[in-house]
Amino acid sequence: MRVLQLYKDYFPVLGGIENHIRMVAEGLRPLGVDVRVLVTNTGPQTVAETIGGVPVTKTGRQLNVSSAPVSLGFFPALRRLEEGVDIAHAHMPYPPGELAQLLLGRSRRFVATYHSDIVRQRVLGALYRPVLQQVLRATDLIAVSNPVYIQDSPFLRRHADKCRVIHFGVDLARFALTPALAEQAATWRHRYAGQTLILFVGRLRHYKGVNMLIEAMHNVAGAQALVVGVGPMEAAWRQQAVDAGMADRITFLGELTDAEVLALFHAADLFVLPSTNRAETFGIVQIEAMACGLPVVCTELGTGTSYVNQHGVTGLVVPPNDPAALAAALNRLSGDPELRRALGGAGRRRVEAEFSVAAMLRQTLALYQEALAQPA
């Protein structure tokens, strides 16, 4: 079986979708699937390379429209790479890529993983909506990370009959506490001795809600927030922390290595995902935090965040855009180590039972097989 994965970015660009595609691509190859990846490059040059045993083509990027890179080379590359391909697997939303597949795709079957609606870019969303409907009609099957989102999305609910729930998964072995990680984690704890460590990890995009965390930290006692990641909102949020007089309570660590991030997961006392709108549909990073035994504080967006992090079971769920509620949840966990341990242990067990990478790969392979079995 030959499969071509389509999206805008790939490793070493770090983000939930990028990490997910990499796990799928690298994980399916040992199962006998010939997986290739087509994305855009971060620069103007087209490059072909092998990453983790997966052939990856990155076409040169000319410009960005909102958050969607435009690459003229993507279209002919898709046409060329889909020769003899059984499955084209698009990761949505990436409007130029989906349009290329709609116009030029020649794979036997077309499936998509629907990560989120286009939420913030209203003009782009309005212009793209007719194309989106055609793309969804053209798919044979649609993978969705959780059942809540099938009904929450105004676009998906019309195609519920061909949606299949495939949980995002993590490799639990990657989050094991090794002696080296334990030593690094101890260094972080020593640096912030006597304080509750609140961790955020993610791309600093508009919907991630770090601005809400900055406001909330005014009313959280005895705690230090550590923000890991880079992105378009980094400069603005760093300045907000300075202007609010919170620069000593909120540390922006920038982009760290995988080992450094893992050490922080094991050093932290709790994890926070204060996302502000429906662009956050799942929060893969929640699973990563739970795999390390951390309780999670997230926001209720009506998508899938609270499907992953269950209120009172694996963490706490608060309304979005509500710094007071966020502060109350952070204070509750900060002041109750026993509750943190109980929720964190339940989170780890939930990941083991529901969100393993092995289950995700089996279900993805089954999706492909179901699509290929459909009549032409």
Contact indicator for 206, 179 with CB cutoff of 8 Å: no
Contact indicator for 146, 308 with CB cutoff of 8 Å: yes
Q: Give the pLDDT of residue 100.
A: 93
Q: Give the pLDDT of residue 16.
A: 80
Which pTM was predicted?
0.82
Length of the chain: 376
State pLDDT tens for residues 307-356: 999 999 999 999 999 999 999 999 999 999 999 999 999 999 999 999 99
Q: Give the pLDDT of residue 38.
A: 98
> Quick one: fold of 2-169+356-373?
Rossmann fold (3.40.50)
State pLDDT tens for residues 128-178: 888 899 999 999 999 999 999 998 898 999 999 999 999 999 999 999 999
**Residue 47 bridge partners (DSSP):** 58
State pLDDT tens for residues 203-250: 899 999 999 999 999 999 999 999 999 999 999 999 999 999 999 999
Give me the helices (H) in 210-356, please.
210-216, 234-243, 258-267, 284-291, 305-308, 323-334, 337-354
One DSSP character per residue, 167-180 reads ---B-GGGG---HH
Q: Give the pLDDT of residue 350.
A: 96
Q: Is the omega angle on the peptide bond into residue 69 within 30 degrees of 0, that is, cis?
A: no
Sequence ranges of the chain with CATH classification 3.40.50.2000:
2-169+356-373, 172-354
Q: Give the pLDDT of residue 14.
A: 75
> Quick one: fold of 172-354?
Rossmann fold (3.40.50)
Contact indicator for 59, 41 with CB cutoff of 8 Å: yes
State pLDDT tens for residues 3-54: 999 999 999 887 788 989 999 999 999 999 999 999 999 999 999 999 999 9
